[in-house]
Chains A and B, each alone.
Chain A
Amino acid sequence: MPGWLADAFGTGIQQRALAEILLLSVACGPLGVWVVSFRQAYAAESLAHAMLPGLVIAVLIGAPLLAGGVGGLLVAAGAMALAARDERLGPDTAVAIAVTGLFGLGTMLALVPDVPTRLQEVLFGDLLGVTRSDVLAAAALAVGVAGALGALHRRLTAAAFDARPGPAAPLVLVLLAITTAVAVQGLGNLLVVALLIAPATAALAVTRRLVPALLLAAVFAMVAGLAGLLISFHAGVAAGASVALSAVILHLLCRLCALCTERLRRGASGAGGVAMVGRP
């Protein structure tokens, strides 16, 4: 193994961080493809932000972040459902109001005097601080989400293709909520969305087949995770942020690649075609 790789993953802390991000990738990548397919990226962003009060309360009372995340999500879902009952607002506006309110509440709680230092973890995650039980939770998540997506595959495919969400879209939202709650320890509630959406959009940019897109999204999430941890170690920057940025860069590269391929294809099919001559 090359030195730059061995150095970055030489300790138990670093190995746990790597295991955590690889396991989260198994869940986040494919789930992200469905989130994007059902056009729920906004919901993903909103859920992650809206759980802040629950996470902050967990920090303040010393409870596990996972418990705080789940509690926060339940409150967020309730607030969104309540706001959406006002038909004059429309669902997006209702979600925006509920999320801003909850994010504001979370920030207010976070800025009370004697803020515990763990608060930074809540916002930005702490991949290098994950415990053995966090890794076990990520493993359970990977198995659970992969299994659920496998079982629901045909139902999700038909619903997304026909743009008729039916009961499938809420199922994706439930998986999204669980994934967000588990992933928040490593990536923080501000950055977790990057590992969900960016690898998925990157995969969808380079393949026109669904199953390859689902697998590729997991691989891209893993690549972003590995690259992020390496950058974090060698450049001495925050791990969660490095992973998020790596995922976004991967997305940009894949979009660029798709754009170039499209241009080349059009150029090839246009060669020898009719030239349009405009008036001077």
Chain B
Amino acid sequence: MSHLDVHRLSGGYVAGTPAIEDVSFTAGPREIVGVLGPNGGGKSTLLHGILGELPVRSGQVTAVPAAHVRQLDRTRLDFPVTALDVALMGAYGRTPWYRRLARADRAAALAALDRVDLADRAEDAFGTLSGGQRQRVLLARALVQDVELLLLDEPLSGVDAVSAARIEALLQELRDEGRTILFAGHDINQARRFDRVLCLHHRQIAYGPPAEVLTPEVLAATYGSELIVLEGGGLAVAVDHHAH
């Protein structure tokens, strides 16, 4: 049984100018799906579309409950919350407004912080943590949500090497536990380690196992002029950091 079934999904933020068109794919348990595409190619829009948050949308999405980890630069640094407070937000969705958060949720939040190696920073203000630590706290919040589908929007952008290694290892663990992970990113070499890859440039260019999908032709169609050929024949993407 699949965790996510996207059928002919199109949509965007303004009527008449779709950001994604005709995207169809299925992702099952124990799968990490890399979503590759250029800046403005529709990766974030696809995640919003899966969550049903696009103002203009057509097509069908069938998905189990999902946790969404947005790009790191979208979170507030001046808001007065600790790492533990942020992790606890993962339990908000299952707690009625008139109930206090359960002790089990607090334990789950502490366990999630421990899992991202930040148990000792639980009481630190979120804004004082490094970029990589903040991303790990946001992943801890997603873990507390305890869902089968994780939608990660460029989870390694602005993240230090130590945090990146921890996050990559964690994602493999979560995959092995039976979860489905959609990982929107830029790193073609990293995507080769994923189970499937979706190449997106407004339209779906290709979807399938990395060995079949990550061909020079598909990557050229996906990235256009952002694709650079490295010495020795390797391919990489020149990324301008974007803020939208």
Using a CB–CB cutoff of 8 Å, the interface residues on chain A facing chain B are 37, 151-155, 157-158, 160-163, 204, 207-210, 213
Whether B85 pairs with A210 at a CB distance below 8 angstroms is yes
Residues of A within 8 A of B81 (CB): 157, 161, 209-210
Determine if A161 and B76 form an interchain contact, defined as CB atoms under 8 angstroms apart: yes
- Of the candidate stretches B89-97, B110-118, B213-221, the one touching chain A is B89-97
Given A207-B80, A210-B81, decide whether A158 and B75 contact each other with a Cβ distance below 8 A.
Answer: no
B95→A151 contact, CB < 8 A? no
Instruction: Please provide the 3 A-B residue pairs with the shortest distance between their CB atoms, ordered closest to farther.
Output: A208-B125, A154-B92, A210-B80
Contacts of A213 in B (CB 8 A): 80
Q: Is the CB of A154 within 8 A of B97?
A: yes
Q: Is B80 in contact with A162, judged by CB distance below 8 angstroms?
A: no
Contact of A152 among B85, B97, B125 (CB under 8 A): B97
**A37 with B92: CB separation less than 8 A:** no
- For B79, B80, B95, B125, which residue has the most chain A Cβ atoms within 10 angstroms? B80
Known: A160-B76, A207-B80. A151 touches B86 (CB 8 A): no
Residues from chain A with a CB closer than 8 A to the CB of B80 are 204, 207-210, 213
27 inter-chain pairs at a CB distance below 8 angstroms, sorted by A residue, are A37-B79, A151-B97, A151-B98, A153-B97, A154-B92, A154-B95, A154-B97, A155-B97, A157-B81, A157-B85, A157-B92, A160-B76, A160-B79, A161-B126, A162-B70, A162-B76, A163-B74, A163-B75, A163-B76, A204-B80, A208-B125, A209-B80, A209-B82, A209-B85, A210-B79, A210-B80, A210-B85
Tally of contacts, chain A with chain B, CB under 8 A: 47
The SS class assigned to the A binding surface is: helix
Residue in B closest to A213 when the chains form the complex, CB atoms: B80
Contacts of A153 in B (CB 8 A): 97
Cα(A70)–Cα(B75), bound, Å: 35
A155-B97, A162-B70, A162-B75 are known contacts; what are 10 more A-B pairs with Cβ within 8 Å?
A151-B97, A152-B97, A155-B92, A157-B92, A158-B89, A162-B74, A208-B125, A209-B85, A210-B80, A213-B80
Contact B98 A161 (CB under 8 A): no
Query: Pick the contact of B79 from A151, A154, A161 — CB < 8 Å?
Result: A161
Query: Complex: how many Å from CA A157 to CA B93?
Result: 12
Q: Roughly how many angstroms separate A81 CA and B85 CA in the complex, as a whole number?
A: 35
A161 to B95 alpha-carbon distance, docked (Å)? 18
A residues within 8 A CB of B92?
154-155, 157-158
